[in-house]
Amino acid sequence: MAQRIEFNTSPGNYRHWRVEYDGNVATVFMQVDESAGLFDGYELKLNSYDLGVDIELADVVQRMRFEHPEVRAVVMRSGRERVFCAGANIRMLSGASHQHKVNFCKFTNETRNTLEAAADDSGQMWVCAVQGACAGGGYELALACNYILLADDSNSSVALPEVPLLAVLPGTGGLTRLVDKRGVRRDLADAFCTVEEGVKGQRAVDWRLVDESVKNSQFEERLATVTAEFATAQVSRGDRSGIALDPVQRDIGEDGSLRYSCVSVEIERDKRLARISVQGPDTDAPADLDTLHREGQNTWMLRCVRELDDALLQLRFNEPEVGVLVFHTAGDAERVLAHETAMAGWRDSDWLANEVLLYWRRLLKRLDVSSRSLVALIEPGSCFAGMLAEIALAADRSYIAEGEFDEMPGPEAALQLSALNLAGLEMGHGLTRLQNRFYADAPSLDAAEAAVGVPLDAGRADELGLVTWALDDIDWEDEVRVFLEERTSFSPDALTGMEANLRFVGPETMETRIFARLSAWQNWIFQRPSAAGEHGALQRYGTGVRGDYTAERV
């Protein structure tokens, strides 16, 4: 079995990042350990990074929001002299499988999105202090920050040199963020992306590539001023101290199965599918905020979303041949809704309740961009309610059991919507999953939204269009089996393309454009001989010999 990639980490295990806290300001230093690559065969020179570096950054960003809610401004800077970050490690990319390259780009972009949203979501503004070369994925790190301060000297520059040097594209949204976020004029963006050495000083400001360029003699003073201004401007998150986030606890079976406290994953390799089961809460919702903060990481909603997040990442990176994710739930729907209602009621007044709900929104967005078929089975005894109903709404197909089933004892299957399904868990393009489902059918959307708070049995859920099929005891087993067999008989590539096209309707945002372009363009370019062939640019990088490009424009 290939090396298992682990996403559990904590500050005591960091090899590449260092964080210092000073009141309401944090400073995050990127100081990559050259010898600590995730795989053998390359060194992480010049602060270049691989997935292992970004797994730590994702933990930094997540932990900042839960453990240090007092922080209002974060400075990202290099811990090495004369270089900020050289971007994704080319030796890693040249030796990685196509699947790993694409998943690497997807994960890094999810991390950038979380960092980018920290100001609006959590009142934490990120400032990037660039001293030294800042190229490729390094500049994409800067682009994800809210403000970029560039040193005006002979060594400091920003660059996206992938096209001339590597025959690929900036893999985590660099081109889209240039024009959509920073408002760089598109002809200047074109020029910028074809200049290997990048752009420095005042020209970088004039082209809107950075916000300010300051001489080194004034750099630290200006950085302190900018950071203090942002920290003061951010809305207070209250006086409560943060909560600890210990690594997620789980057991891994010899067959790759995963066991958490309220999530389990069973893998059926012969069918190329995984069954993900979510167990609803077995305790009442926190009665008040003191109880919520005392429970901290152990409160059901936070524990469940962390476990689901880890399970999805484990499947994405460590189980590439599992093509179908089948979701089951079990438990008391009313208890699920009670936990959710308490959290939603406190979100405007309490930072922790807000962060838990924001985490659910991020988790569901990760599910939306999964390159796997998603199926929800709403069975007797299940608890697809509120935010768990979002899983069913995110699925490509959903099946609900109609009536009583001898082999599945428990209350009749039902789906129940809550106020959270109407606002608070929006997809990447800004629509709720109900709006996404009924995009061209306003009457059906109105009827579904009017059904909030009512348990919907199979007949009613089917009538409202909230499920794909309602099946009775006679048809359930055969229909579900035939569907799963059919799904795994199709081309995985064709299914990925089909599902990615159908999951998002209507408007686009910078976030959805980045993922769509990543899936289509970069996915394709990473397979072309100009980049990945024996004599392609990724293979020849650093040898002094340019890649041997195929001339056809296709």
Sign of CA dihedral 430, 71, 366, 528: positive
Residues 403 and 279 in one domain: yes
Cβ pair 536, 548 in contact under 8 A: yes
- Using CA atoms, how far apart are residues 327 and 378, in angstroms rounded to an integer? 9
pLDDT at 238: 56
Last-in-domain residue among 216, 240, 262: 216
Helix-then-strand count for the chain, H and E: 24, 22
- Does a structural domain hold residue 515? no
CATH code at position 407: 3.90.226.10
Q: Please report which confidence band the pLDDT of residue 426 belongs to, taking 50, 70 and 90 as the band edges.
A: very high
Percent of the chain with pLDDT over 90: 84
- Does a structural domain hold residue 122? yes
- Using CA atoms, how far apart are residues 441 and 435, in angstroms rounded to an integer? 9
Mean local confidence (pLDDT), 15-33: 97
Q: Please report which confidence band the pLDDT of residue 239 belongs to, taking 50, 70 and 90 as the band edges.
A: low
**Burial of 431 by CB count in 10 Å (0-12 exposed, 13-18 middle, 19+ buried)?**
middle
- Does a structural domain hold residue 526? no
Q: Which residues contact 82 (CB under 8 A, 6 or more apart)?
A: 131, 132, 133, 155
pLDDT at 209 over 80: yes
pLDDT at 1: 43
- Using CA atoms, how far apart are residues 223 and 229, in angstroms rounded to an integer? 10
- Using CA atoms, how far apart are residues 105 and 479, in angstroms rounded to an integer? 37
- Better-predicted residue by pLDDT, 293 or 515: 293
Tokens encoding 146: 């809210």
Q: Please report which confidence band the pLDDT of residue 144 belongs to, taking 50, 70 and 90 as the band edges.
A: very high
Mean local confidence (pLDDT), 80-102: 92
Residues 290 and 409 in one domain: yes
Which residues make beta-bridge pairs with 329? 278
pLDDT at 102: 87
Residues 258 and 209 in one domain: no
Percent of the chain with pLDDT over 70: 98
Packing angle of the helix pair 510-517, 98-116 (nearest 10 deg): 170
Q: Please report which confidence band the pLDDT of residue 237 belongs to, taking 50, 70 and 90 as the band edges.
A: low
What's phi and psi for 541, nearest 5 deg?
-55, 135
Residues 134 and 79 in one domain: yes
- Does a structural domain hold residue 551? no
pLDDT at 526 over 60: yes
Residues 264 and 204 in one domain: no
Residues 433 and 315 in one domain: yes
Mean local confidence (pLDDT), 473-497: 93
Cβ pair 26, 15 in contact under 8 A: no
Residues 204 and 270 in one domain: no
Q: Please report which confidence band the pLDDT of residue 236 belongs to, taking 50, 70 and 90 as the band edges.
A: low
Q: 490: closest CA among 372, 395, 392, 397?
A: 372
Where in the sequence is the domain holding 64, given as residue range(s)?
12-216
Last-in-domain residue among 459, 481, 502: 502
Helix (H, G, I), strand (E, B) or coil at 151: strand
* Predicted TM-score (pTM) of this structure: 0.94
Cβ pair 250, 260 in contact under 8 A: yes
Cβ pair 32, 49 in contact under 8 A: yes
Q: Which residues contact 99 (CB under 8 A, 6 or more apart)?
A: 320
- Using CA atoms, how far apart are residues 294 and 271, in angstroms rounded to an integer? 43
pLDDT at 457 over 80: yes
- Using CA atoms, how far apart are residues 399 and 9, in angstroms rounded to an integer? 37
Last-in-domain residue among 485, 502, 519: 502
Mean local confidence (pLDDT), 176-197: 94
- Using CA atoms, how far apart are residues 297 and 301, in angstroms rounded to an integer? 9
pLDDT at 544: 83
Residues 324 and 449 in one domain: yes
Cβ pair 128, 209 in contact under 8 A: no
- Does a structural domain hold residue 547? no
Cβ pair 399, 468 in contact under 8 A: yes
- Does a structural domain hold residue 311? yes
Domains: count for the chain: 2
Residues 130 and 265 in one domain: no
CA dihedral 500, 504, 510, 513 (to 10 degrees): 30
- Does a structural domain hold residue 522? no
- Using CA atoms, how far apart are residues 381 and 494, in angstroms rounded to an integer? 34
- Does a structural domain hold residue 221? no
**What are the angstrom distances between the C-alpha of 216 and each of 80, 86, 248?**
15, 20, 43
Residues 210 and 352 in one domain: no
Residues 301 and 399 in one domain: yes
Residues 337 and 461 in one domain: yes
